[in-house]
Amino acid sequence: MFLSILLSFFMGVLSFSLNRKHLLLMLLSLEFIVLSVFLLMYLLMSSLVGEMYFTMIFLTFSVCEGVLGLSLMILMIRSHGSDYFNSFNLLW
């Protein structure tokens, strides 16, 4: 179980590094990484400590991170027309 969660984490990091052109694919990769970290944290917290409040705090922060990323993507699509990074000029 532990190795499959680590494999999913590294696959998320790999997909994040390969999908640098579209913001939506990057956000989906980040959410996959957060999900694998949450599963690893849940596995460790339930077997070692038994304290599950930290996992709820982590879920709250991950939801806030997801909402912030989606709102930035909507702002970028409204101002530039797409989430494709090559059409987004950083010098303007």
Q: pLDDT tens digits for 10-63?
A: 999 999 999 878 888 888 999 999 999 999 999 888 888 777 888 899 999 999
Average pLDDT over every residue of 2-10: 92
The answer as to CATH 1.10.600.10 being correct for domain 2-87 is: no
Closest among 28, 42, 33 to 73, alpha carbons compared: 28
Given a contact cutoff of 8 angstroms between Cβ atoms, the answer to whether 27 and 69 are in contact is yes
**Domain segments of the chain as ranges:** 2-87
More confident residue, 56 or 1: 56
Q: In sequence order, what are the beta bridge partners of 84?
A: 22
Q: In sequence order, what are the beta bridge partners of 22?
A: 84
d(CA 90, CA 92): 6
